[in-house]
Amino acid sequence: MAAEHTNPYLPEPVVIVGTEMENSLVKTFRVVFEDADRMKRFSFIPGQVGQLSAFGAGEATFVINSPPTRMDYLQFSVMQTGEVTRKLHQFKAGDRLGLRAPLGGGFDVEGMKGKNVVLIGGGIGMAPLRTLLLYMLDNRADYGDITVVYGSKSPEDFCYKSDLEEWNARPDMRLIETVDNSCTLWTKCVGLVPNVLLDEKPSPVNTIAVTCGPPIMIRFTLQALEKLGFSDDQIVTTLERRMKCGIGLCGRCNIGEKYVCVDGPVFTLSQLKELPAEL
Ligand SMILES: Cc1cc2nc3c(=O)[nH]c(=O)nc-3n(C[C@H](O)[C@H](O)[C@H](O)COP(=O)(O)OP(=O)(O)OC[C@H]3O[C@@H](n4cnc5c(N)ncnc54)[C@H](O)[C@@H]3O)c2cc1C
Ligand code: FES
């Protein structure tokens, strides 16, 4: 259920404690519940989302991209696309927003224990992978090899640049950053995410692959994973179907009998293949 009070449509007030521009379009917000006790009681699973509201402008869905192992604040990264996100970008530290969270289901972090994990992200699609990765790094002994492939149009467009520096320096994980086209001063990988993945050839043995990003990247990444021998049960992704109520009542997000807001947004490829072809 979204909130502790009886009306699940009512946002709870949160205060912005920090912001950061990730690139020209994405602004990250760190928020805490105004009620300090609520902050202490709040719990969630990596991959769960919240409806963040700019009072008077409406609400929109964003993944909680900080991990549940670090509860000083909840972090959301908002890419400016339309009315609500444009309004949200105007808010700054000290301002109040509304939040309905946690909503939906998260990643199967229990089922991934003892397995190798390959995270494949593109653009703002790194947001759900960030919470999962930080959660696994905070519980490092529970997981096998961790590989991250993160693609961006250009070096400036990467989100979470300070995290990337830290992840690069860690001996217990591997990060491959790639940009679409070569450019001056970029000495790392160049190429589209699915092609880089095919070059890297992660082994499917005892491995789960999780991919989030633009639909075109997901489509070719799924094909690449299949080529590498990953089965449908070993491939996990998130669906960004538009949401309204977030609690399975309004019918805005359904695909056949499944509601992305309660049955997802995280699905295995096997589960996706059971959905009607409208996807
Ligand atoms: C489960 C889930 C998790 C998400 N996590 C994040 C996140 O962490 N960070 C982030 O920046 N965004 C995320 N999104 C997308 C975000 O919810 C939308 O960008 C936001 O609702 C846009 O609101 P708006 O009023 O600014 O834009 P609108 O005015 O509603 O739309 C502007 C344009 O974007 C298109 N659009 C808006 N939302 C979607 C969508 N969900 N799918 C496809 N096209 C869309 C519209 O068709 C329109 O062309 C997530 C969405 C879902 C469903
Ligand atoms: S958003 Fe209302 S049913 Fe899913």
Query: Which pLDDT tens digits describe the chain residue by residue (279 residues)?
Result: 455 667 878 999 999 999 999 999 999 999 999 999 999 999 999 999 999 999 888 999 999 999 999 999 999 999 999 999 999 999 999 999 999 999 999 999 999 999 999 999 999 999 999 999 999 999 999 999 999 999 999 999 999 999 999 999 999 999 999 999 988 889 999 999 999 999 999 999 999 999 999 999 999 999 999 999 999 999 999 988 778 888 888 888 888 888 888 998 999 999 988 887 654
Ligand 1 center from residue 189 Cα (angstroms)? 29
Among protein residues, the one with the nearest Cα to ligand 1's atom 29 is 82
Looking at residue 242, its pLDDT comes to 79
Give the Cα separation of 175 and 169 in Å (integer).
9
Looking at residue 1, its pLDDT comes to 46
Three-state DSSP class for residue 270:
helix
Question: In the chain, how many H helices and how many E strands?
Answer: 8, 15
Specify the pTM.
Answer: 0.93
Ligand 2 pocket, residue 259 CB under 6 Å: yes
Q: Which residues contact 166 (CB under 8 A, 6 or more apart)?
A: none
What are the percentages of helix, strand and coil residues in the chain, rounded to 5?
A: 25, 30, 45
Among 44, 42, 22, which Cα is nearest to 34's?
42
Give the Cα separation of 23 and 28 in Å (integer).
10
Ligand 1 pocket, residue 60 CB under 6 Å: yes
Contact between residue 246 and residue 100 where contact means Cβ atoms under 8 Å apart: yes
Ligand 2 pocket, residue 249 CB under 6 Å: yes
Contact between residue 64 and residue 44 where contact means Cβ atoms under 8 Å apart: yes
